[in-house]
């Protein structure tokens, strides 16, 4: 490695002018442009790192935060994107797109009221953008402000009369308002413009079902399933149509498929139970209805915190990272690194309590080594002391604010012990600092976190 670097240095020296050679360091603008190029190439982790460097060099540039937020969205880091958009808006409160994307991301964590506020502000800035009314209508419909949602969809359709997404959304809103004739008209118009839009087919099929056109409804759902064969709700609704016309065996098969694709679809359990009762399978029918009750209650009353999430999935990974990365240099006079390394090895051998003693001693001898606190946080977590693990991670990031793994571990522990929002923010920070495994956890867990109301 040293030889390669030397060769490169010599080559530069040979190519440089004899007098006055200088090469300026990359600027914040250079890193920003690099981030744009990498985003365009879909290298989102690389783009994120480039924008982060640009922000470190120039923290007052709103576009850097905005574009980093877009990279985070592509990496499915919703809460991290919201934090960047907060900063972009603070620096440039006239950026309608920043409000738009923050609103869209708030909808992904079920913060529909916050999203409406963002869309309100975006519309004040840009009152002729159909997309803004469309998204505000979607959010208003989610909180059951159906009349206001319909007004938004009407305005959006006036501004963009050929947009099939707007027509489909307006049809869905009319369905929620029990205006099935109006919904049927909107879905039919959308399908004239885009005949293979499965959402419009499903919407029209349901409207036809409610208008007692079972034959037309069945045809729409058959076509929708051909286009989207892995959508459980399409099979569920086709099952409803079949049960309406007395085809209980066909309906049961559709509900079976629904549950194969989405085992937690408690409504499909209920409907299958009904069909089974009509087919004379009473025990199976009761079992299905029991499940529909249990699943419905569980979905409403419980919140999972993923027990054993830390010890089974994350600590072995972190231990491997530490062992591969940590290299002992010359032993210092205080011998603190000897205790640190011995503790690391003991922990890898399953001697957690003895390892903790060594890490305590290493920190006593050198209380400014961020790595010692981080390793001790791993050991404490493996011994069940999650509060102590968080305290040690706090010390690690205070001593080394760019310690991505410490943010990662603190985020995982916080999430697992119930402080989900703070945990997801830490995981986002870990990703910013280059510890990309954080995005796997973010994608699986953080976007389920409900926004604080």
Per-residue pLDDT of the chain (453 residues; tens, 9 = 90+): 433 433 333 333 333 344 344 457 899 999 999 999 999 999 999 999 999 999 999 999 999 999 999 999 999 999 899 999 999 999 999 999 999 999 999 999 889 999 999 999 999 999 999 999 999 999 999 988 999 999 999 999 999 999 999 999 999 999 999 999 999 999 999 999 999 999 999 999 999 999 999 999 999 999 999 999 999 999 999 999 999 899 999 999 999 999 999 998 888 888 888 888 888 887 887 888 777 777 754 433 333 223 356 655 555 555 555 555 554 456 677 778 778 777 776 776 678 888 899 899 989 989 999 989 998 988 888 788 888 989 999 999 999 999 998 999 999 889 888 888 899 999 999 999 988 888 888 888 887 644 443
- CA pair distance 293, 235, nearest whole angstrom: 21
Tell me what pLDDT residue 48 has: 93
Angle between helix 214-227 and helix 232-244 axes, rounded to 10 deg: 160
Which residue spans of the chain are classified as CATH 1.25.40.10?
Answer: 230-299, 309-448
Tell me what pLDDT residue 44 has: 93
Residue 253: count of CB within 10 angstroms of its CB: 17
∠ Cα 286 276 294 (to 5°): 35
Domain 230-299 is found in CATH 1.10.3720.10: no
Instruction: Pull the structure tokens for residue 16.
Output: 């440089």
Tell me what pLDDT residue 22 has: 42
Tell me what pLDDT residue 342 has: 78
Domain 309-448 is found in CATH 1.25.40.10: yes
Tell me what pLDDT residue 264 has: 87
Phi, psi values for residue 146, rounded to 5°: -70, -40
Angle between helix 404-416 and helix 420-432 axes, rounded to 10 deg: 160
Tell me what pLDDT residue 4 has: 40
Please give the model's pTM, rounded to 2 decimal places.
0.71
């Amino acid at each position: 490695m040293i030889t390669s670097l030397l060769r490169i240095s010599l080559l530069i020296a040979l190519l440089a002018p004899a007098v006055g050679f200088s090469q300026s360091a990359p600027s914040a603008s250079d890193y920003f442009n690099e981030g744009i190029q990498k985003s365009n190439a879909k290298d989102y982790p690389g783009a994120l790192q480039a924008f982060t460097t640009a922000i470190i060099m120039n923290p007052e540039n709103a576009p850097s935060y905005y574009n980093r937020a877009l990279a985070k969205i592509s990496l499915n880091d919703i809460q991290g994107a919201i934090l960047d958009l907060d900063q972009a808006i603070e620096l440039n409160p006239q950026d309608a797109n920043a409000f738009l994307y923050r609103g869209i991301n708030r909808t992904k964590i079920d913060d529909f009221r916050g999203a409406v506020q963002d869309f309100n502000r975006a519309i004040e800035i840009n009152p002729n953008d159909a997309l803004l009314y469309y998204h505000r209508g979607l959010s208003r419909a989610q909180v059951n402000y159906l009349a206001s949602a319909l007004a938004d969809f009407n305005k959006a359709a006036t501004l963009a009369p050929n947009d099939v997404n707007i027509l489909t959304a307006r049809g869905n809103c009319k369905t929620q308002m029990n205006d099935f004739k109006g919904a049927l008209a909107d879905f039919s118009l959308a399908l004239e413009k885009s005949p293979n839009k499965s959402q419009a087919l499903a919407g029209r099929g349901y409207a036809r079902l409610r208008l007692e056109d079972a034959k037309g409804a069945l045809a729409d759902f058959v076509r929708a399933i051909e286009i989207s064969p892995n959508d459980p709700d399409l099979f569920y609704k086709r099952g409803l149509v079949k049960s309406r016309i007395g085809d209980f065996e066909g309906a049961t098969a559709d509900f079976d498929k629904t549950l194969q694709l989405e085992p937690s679809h408690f409504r499909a359990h209920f409907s299958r139970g009904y069909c089974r009762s009509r087919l004379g399978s009473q025990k199976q029918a009761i079992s299905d209805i029991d499940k529909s009750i249990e699943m419905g209650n569980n979905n409403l009353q419980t919140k999972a915190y993923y027990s054993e999430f830390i010890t089974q999935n994350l600590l072995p990974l972190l231990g491997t990272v530490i062992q591969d990365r940590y290299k002992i240099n010359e032993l210092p006079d205080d011998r603190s690194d000897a205790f640190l390394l011995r503790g690391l090895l003991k922990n890898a051998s399953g001697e957690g309590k003895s390892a903790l003693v060594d890490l305590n001693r290493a920190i006593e001898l050198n209380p400014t080594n961020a790595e010692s606190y981080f390793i001790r946080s791993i050991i404490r977590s493996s011994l069940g002391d999650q509060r102590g693990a968080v305290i040690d991670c706090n010390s690690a990031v205070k001593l080394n604010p760019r310690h991505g793994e410490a943010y990662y571990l603190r985020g995982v522990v916080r999430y697992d012990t119930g402080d989900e929002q703070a945990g997801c923010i830490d995981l986002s920070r870990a990703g910013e600092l280059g510890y990309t495994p954080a995005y796997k956890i973010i994608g699986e867990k953080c976007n389920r976190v409900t926004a604080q109301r």
